[in-house]
Amino acid sequence: MPTELDKHRYKSSVARHFSRAATTYNDYADFQAQVLRELTAFLPDTLQCDIATPQAALLNTEAFEARGAGAVPILIDLGAGTGSSSRALRERYGNQPHVLSMDISIDMLKKLKADSVAADVCVADFERLPVKSSSIDLFFSSLAIQWCLSVDQLFHEVSQALALNGEFVFSTLLNGSMIELEDAWRQVDQKPHINHYLSEHDILKTVERHSFEVVSFESRKITMTFPTVKQALYSLKKIGASLVVEGQKEFMSKSKWKQFVRAYEKHRIDEGIPLSYQVLFARIRKK
């Protein structure tokens, strides 16, 4: 059981990794862009707005205050990063809803604002959402919730924040992701180089435990290919996703690197070096 200090250190590490990648993220996020495109197909056609939804949804910011008396849908982009998903929400729903881009990395959100994405921003811990109960109409999250220490706590927070019949549309990585990378490292040493991901069954049970109605729940395998092993690894490093929770940072010798590359090259296919992911696409509704 991690202590509060352990949790703080981990979340600080996640924030640092993504902040360092803020300026390179968009150039290397091909996989993330593909998942986002596929996930937007799971969004509801129209937004249901609870007439009683408070216009000041946030507890600790003035971002949503003084919005006027009319009820307007409030959307939170959870793990907004540099803003591609928030921009996709704007393209889908227009200017009517209030979009709040939320991320653990302040530098990612600075990049989002620099790129003129039309959204308010909030730095936040997804497992302690700074929002009022029953105040949000839609949560959207693409490839972010796997960084949470407890998805059980995440779904609790989302359930508390959603208005009645509010929805959570999300994608996340499942166990079996990056098996080529894991296998190559296993031939070099026995240390963890891949984060632990939950199974589709585990996530479904957690969703059901928090009394969500499942609208859609679908897993897909997506394989990206690269000319070299180095470029495959850069696709992780340059977006900030190279943090291994249980791993220890250490110097890699040239001989160890060559051994790793030789092991990974055994997975090469006609299209190049593969890096495959098991991705869950889901749409759930608060009952």
DSSP assignment, residue 113? H
pTM value > 0.85: yes
Residue 1 confidence (pLDDT): 65
> Is the pLDDT at 250 greater than 70, yes or no?
no
The mean per-residue pLDDT over the stretch 28-50 comes to 93
Q: Which span out of 48-52, 59-63, 113-117, 160-164 was modeled with the highest average pLDDT?
A: 160-164
172/189: higher pLDDT: 172
Residues 221, 222, 228, 233: what is their CA dihedral angle, to the nearest 10 degrees? -90
Residue 242 confidence (pLDDT): 81
Q: Which amino acid is at 145?
A: I
CA distance 82 to 73: 22
**Beta bridge partners of residue 45, listed in sequence order:** none
Residue 252 confidence (pLDDT): 75
The mean per-residue pLDDT over the stretch 250-279 comes to 93
**Mean pLDDT rounded to a whole number for the chain:** 90
Q: For each of the domains in the chain, give its residue range(s) and CATH number, in order of start.
A: 4-177+195-224+277-286 (3.40.50.150)
The mean per-residue pLDDT over the stretch 190-210 comes to 92
